[in-house]
Structure formats: C-alpha cells, structure tokens
Amino acid sequence: MPINSQFHVVHDHNKIGPAPKLTEAQVREILEKHDANNDGVLCWQELNTVFRDLGAWSPWFRANRGLHYADANNDGVINKEEWNDLVKYITDLGYKLKIK
C-alpha cells in the first residue's frame, strides 16, 4: 500500500471541515458584545478587542483601518450611523467562526 493513501485516510479522519465565514448579523452581534462601557459607540480600544477576539494578526492595525474606514465624522468613535460601514468592513475581511 502506498504511504500516501494511508496518510490521506488519517488526514480525512481528523478533518474538521472549513469553518463558515461570519455573516453580517454575526459581526453585528460581536460588535454589540464588545461595547464594553455600553455607551452605544465603539472606541479604538473596544475595536481592538473585537479584532483580537476575531483572531486578527494585528488587532491594533485592523482597529486603525476599521476606524479610518467607518468613522465618517472623524470623532474617533463608531456611532450607530457608522456601525453599518464597520460591519461591512469586518464582514468583507472574511473572518471565520472560531471553533470552541
């Protein structure tokens, strides 16, 4: 028996399958959970924890980009009007659901 076919059997046996990508609704839920001080807006620190929990390689970098992308009035926080742009930004990045 070739070594390769044996390897494939083992590999398939342990396969978990691809994790589904986060939907907009799920991203929205995650953002709401990360409004740590419940003031209805997301500041940079809160965004940083969002991306950290999503498993981003550089949460601070993503927080900067996300803020830059969605902060239309440049006040440094994401309010409810800007929320949709942030949701779109994060959804487009294609993060996957984490397997717990």
Question: Using CB under 5 A as the criterion, which residues of the chain lie in contact with Ca ion when the complex forms?
Answer: 35, 37, 39, 71, 73, 75
> Minimum Å distance from CB 80 to Ca ion?
10
Burial environment of residue 35 by CB neighbours within 10 A (0 to 12, 13 to 18, 19 or more): middle
CA 37 to chain centre: 20
> Minimum Å distance from CB 19 to Ca ion?
28
Cα separation, 43 vs 73, whole angstroms: 13
> Between 11 and 80, whose beta carbon lies closer to Ca ion?
80
> Minimum Å distance from CB 38 to Ca ion?
7
